[in-house]
Structure 1
Amino acid sequence: MPSLKICCSAVLSLLLMGQALTARAELPDFTELVEKASPAVVNISTRQKIPDAVASSGGMSAPDLEGLPPMFREFFERSIPQQPRPPSHGRQREAQSLGSGFIISSDGYIMTNNHVIADADEIIVRLSDRSELEAKVIGADPRSDVALLKVDAKDLPTVKLGKSEDLKVGEWVLAIGSPFGFDHSVTAGIVSAKGRSLPNESYVPFIQTDVAINPGNSGGPLFNLEGEVVGINSQIFTRSGGFMGLSFAIPMSVAMDVADQLKADGKVSRGWLGVVIQEVNKDLAESFGLDKPAGALVAQVLEGGPGAKSGLQVGDVILSLNGKPIIMSADLPHLVGGLKPGSKAKMEVVRDGARKTLDLTIGSLPEDGTALAGDAAPSAEQSSNRLGVKVAELSAEQKKALDLKGGVVISEVMDGPAALIGLRQGDVITHLNNQAIDSGKTFAAVAKALPKDRSVSMRVLRKGRASFITFKLSE
């Protein structure tokens, strides 16, 4: 019997060893990838001259984040401030920062983030052999946070460029960079999601990963298992300023399009519609007669813009562009921004419950943005006790300033539905229950006939910005 126990124990040990070896075999081995790719990853340091008064007052120090709610922010915060140097002639000091980058051509072109090199007076690139070269900026694009640098060198090691659109959620990825100045640090994880939209980042469909990224990784490459760069590490979601499991990279397809334009023209041209859009939630979908929440709701159309010329109207729900579906409203800027100004496109919309196809010519996004009207002031008042607001007619000057043909301005908000949904004095109502409001009389009539216990939409302009809101009347 003892021999039988020994035999069973040996078999069990072999089985457990086999399972361990199998599990180990299923995990990726990054060693060869890192060995081949690391020489093309660089450390980037910058120097910026700042007034002595700013430096001595602590103007370059990081803000206190303790107690703030979670928020998206540039994880690099432009720089990792170092102790300022003694003042030069009593008037200037120098601030230093660190970041990462990667070489895309053997003659010295390097990609990084715009916020790594923004406002720098000097940019130093340190190669894997620890040699240092001064770089010049070929071009930078704040909207995509991509910058293209050039060093005077030949026969440099380069990365392989991959197709970010081929990435799959759950796929292994790896980052190489200089977190906190520790050169060529390697971290790995998986793709958590694709096409993420971040606040104030309308033109980049970010790749979300759980790769450990920290200050100094900014501008560094994100690799797939084939050793190809599929993204540029750019931002993290954080409360403390450090890594919390949510990292975001600029897709390489977006970054290379930007880099090619910067190299050729020194600037980036993007497609533009000239509209303000918003998300379609469940209540808005119901009020517009949609089967489900999807698409981009047009809240405002800029007069003379590409959208207006194509016949796009306020209240249209955009469902697709060139056959590509718009699931979330943030999908639209990604698609439009990727089109060349002057190109033709087809857009499917829902208008008054019916589907329509519009032909349009894509415009060019203004470099400084386009202002959308200002505030309005009340004139002669009318009341609508059912909604709990007093409204007034818009003057001719106000309509011209706001680019409106009609609408009413709220002069007072009383207790009632209007107060509950957050309406304020000075808000301009242009549509109610999918009907255009051209006067106070029309507003009163439409408000009186509003249905009960059903989602009702209202289009409101606040400080020139339009959006649709929904509410329900219980009585």
Structure 2
Amino acid sequence: MMFRMQSWLAGAALVLGLVNAAVARDLPEFTELAETNSVSVVNISTHQKSQGKQRLPHDFSMPDVPEDSPFNELFKRFFGDELDEFADRESRSLGSGFVISSDGYILTNYHVVDGADEVQVRFSDRRFYDAKVIGSDRASDVALLKIDAEGLPTVKLGSSTDLKVGEWVLAIGSPFGFDHTVTAGIVSAKGRSLPSENYVPFIQTDVAINPGNSGGPLFNLDGEVVGINSQIYSRTGGFMGLSFAIPIELAIGVADQLREHGKVSRGYLGVLIQDVDYNLAESFGLEQPRGALVSRVMPDSPAEKAGVKVGDVILEFNSKRLLNSSQLPPLVGITGVNEEATLKVLRSGETLDMQITVGRLPDDEQSASNKPAEPRPDEIEQLGLSVIDIDAGVREELGLEDKGGALVGKVGSGPAEDAGIRRGDIVLMFDGVDVENAKHLRELIEAAGDKRTVAILVRRGDSPLFMALRLKN
């Protein structure tokens, strides 16, 4: 009996050993990758003179630590907002970057060098160089630096499009100033859109990224750079398992333009868009929410010339299906200026293919927000909604160029309130028909008949917005 037990234990140990060996063989090996590529990754420090006065607590004494100590970054984070008066204080920031050409071109993030008076890079062998900012691009958060050096070791560039969710990736950078720190994880998602970023389809990973990692490379297991570590999502200021990298193809495209022209040109359609929710999908006859709903077409824009109209739902751009509106700007942005593109749009229940010549995004393409004047409530009430005509004085005060529309004076309990309509909104379109005035809007509401849900277009401030108005439950 004892012999059998010993035999069983020996067999179990052998099986467990084989399993562990198999698991070990399947785990990634990062040592060679880290050793080979660390020489091409740099620490970036910037210096900026601040004219503002700052205050430290009266009982606080700054510890005596070396200038290049990583603890300086920690002290700045925890005590930077509480200051006693120091004028002309020199601020410092830390980041990372990587060499993309042997003659000294380095990629990093825009926010790492933004506003810097001096930029220095340091290699793993402690060599220091002063760097010149060749160009930087806020929209993509990419900056290109140049140092006076030759024969530098460079990274190998890969392809983010070949990445798969669940694939192992590795980051090298300087979190909190700790040079050439290596962290690893997996790709969590691709093509991720962030609220503050319109032109970057981010790679999401669970690689540990912290302040100082910004601008550093993200490698695949073949030792190829597939992205630039750029942002984290955090409620504490530290890493919480969500980090985002800029796809390397996009970054190199930006760098090439910065090197050649000093600035970046992006594709431009000239439309304002929004997501299609479930109620809007129902009103447009879509089986599910998808696409980019056009809420405004800019005058004399590529979209206007191609025949795009307010209320169109862009379903595809160059045969790439759009699940949500945030996917469209990156696709348009990377399209060359004056290139031909194909749109598939849904209009009045019919699908149309349209050809469009992509334009160049204007440098001042930003939307301002102006609060409209307070209107007086009127006597027209439909669906808990009261509206008034927009006279010439109000139209001039609001800066309205378009004719027509009805100004919302009061919103009471009812479908209008449920749809999210607010006092001061201007109703521009109802169920695909341009609203001429308050009376016309009431006629359109009455003519809706048995329709359960209709789409309406309102202007709020300077921004157009589609809403789903549920007429009947």
> What TM-score do the two structures reach when normalised by structure 2?
0.90
Q: Which residues of 2 match residues 148-159 of structure 1 at below 5 A?
A: 148-159=144-155
Provide, for residues 163-184 of structure 1, a one-character-per-residue CA deviation record: whole Å limited to 9, x for no partner: 1111111111000111111111
1:250 to 246, 250, 255: 246
1:171 to 151, 155, 167: 167
One-letter amino acid of the structure 2 residue matched with residue 191 of structure 1: V
1:123 to 113, 119, 122: 119
Provide, for residues 270-316 of structure 1, a one-character-per-residue CA deviation record: whole Å limited to 9, x for no partner: 01111110011111111011222111000111111111111110000
Shift of residue 373, structure 1, vs aligned partner: 8.4
Partner of 1:473: 471
Pair 1:294–1:422, CA change in 2 (3 A)? closer
Shift of residue 442, structure 1, vs aligned partner: 1.1
Partner of 1:357: 353
Q: Which residues of 2 match residues 246-325 of structure 1 at below 5 A?
A: 246-325=242-321
One-letter amino acid of the structure 1 residue matched with residue 317 of structure 2: L
One-letter amino acid of the structure 2 residue matched with residue 56 of structure 1: R
Q: Secondary structure at the match of 1:402?
A: coil
Q: Secondary structure at the match of 2:161?
A: helix
Shift of residue 380, structure 1, vs aligned partner: 8.4
After TM superposition, the structure 1 stretch with the greater mean CA deviation from structure 2, 377-386 or 439-448, is 377-386
Pair 1:373–1:4, CA change in 2 (3 A)? closer
One-letter amino acid of the structure 1 residue matched with residue 410 of structure 2: E
In 2, Cα distance between the equivalents of 1:195 and 1:442?
A: 43
In 2, Cα distance between the equivalents of 1:80 and 1:231?
A: 28
In 2, Cα distance between the equivalents of 1:307 and 1:246?
A: 36
Matched residue pairs, number?
A: 452
Pair 1:124–1:299, CA change in 2 (3 A)? same
Pair 1:474–1:322, CA change in 2 (3 A)? closer
Q: Secondary structure at the match of 1:164?
A: coil
Pair 1:360–1:399, CA change in 2 (3 A)? farther
One-letter amino acid of the structure 2 residue matched with residue 46 of structure 1: T
CA contact (8 A) 1:388 1:419 kept: yes
Partner of 2:55: 56
In 2, Cα distance between the equivalents of 1:300 and 1:153?
A: 50
In 2, Cα distance between the equivalents of 1:391 and 1:83?
A: 53
Provide, for residues 178-223 of structure 1, a one-character-per-residue CA deviation record: whole Å limited to 9, x for no partner: 1111111111111111001001200000000011111111110000
Q: Which residues of 2 match residues 94-133 of structure 1 at below 5 A?
A: 94-133=90-129
In 1, Cα distance between the equivalents of 2:119 and 2:216?
A: 16
Pair 1:252–1:18, CA change in 2 (3 A)? same
The unaligned stretches of length 5 or more in structure 2 are 58-72
In 2, Cα distance between the equivalents of 1:342 and 1:373?
A: 30
Shift of residue 333, structure 1, vs aligned partner: 0.4
One-letter amino acid of the structure 2 residue matched with residue 16 of structure 1: L
CA contact (8 A) 1:221 1:231 kept: yes
Q: Secondary structure at the match of 1:6?
A: helix
One-letter amino acid of the structure 2 residue matched with residue 332 of structure 1: L
Pair 1:188–1:462, CA change in 2 (3 A)? same
CA contact (8 A) 1:374 1:463 kept: yes
Partner of 1:161: 157
Partner of 1:390: 386
The unaligned stretches of length 5 or more in structure 1 are 59-76
In 2, Cα distance between the equivalents of 1:215 and 1:386?
A: 54
Q: Secondary structure at the match of 1:335?
A: helix
In 1, Cα distance between the equivalents of 2:286 and 2:332?
A: 23
1:234 to 230, 243, 262: 230
Pair 1:354–1:373, CA change in 2 (3 A)? farther
After TM superposition, the structure 1 stretch with the greater mean CA deviation from structure 2, 393-402 or 173-182, is 393-402
In 1, Cα distance between the equivalents of 2:209 and 2:449?
A: 52
One-letter amino acid of the structure 2 residue matched with residue 390 of structure 1: S
Partner of 1:66: none
One-letter amino acid of the structure 2 residue matched with residue 295 of structure 1: G
In 2, Cα distance between the equivalents of 1:467 and 1:95?
A: 42
Pair 1:387–1:427, CA change in 2 (3 A)? same
Partner of 2:11: 11
Partner of 2:60: none
Pair 1:242–1:265, CA change in 2 (3 A)? same
In 1, Cα distance between the equivalents of 2:121 and 2:12?
A: 55
Partner of 2:427: 429
In 1, Cα distance between the equivalents of 2:256 and 2:425?
A: 44
Q: Which residues of 2 match residues 394-405 of structure 1 at below 5 A?
A: 394-396=390-392, 401-405=399-403
Pair 1:227–1:263, CA change in 2 (3 A)? same
In 1, Cα distance between the equivalents of 2:165 and 2:358?
A: 31
CA contact (8 A) 1:40 1:157 kept: yes
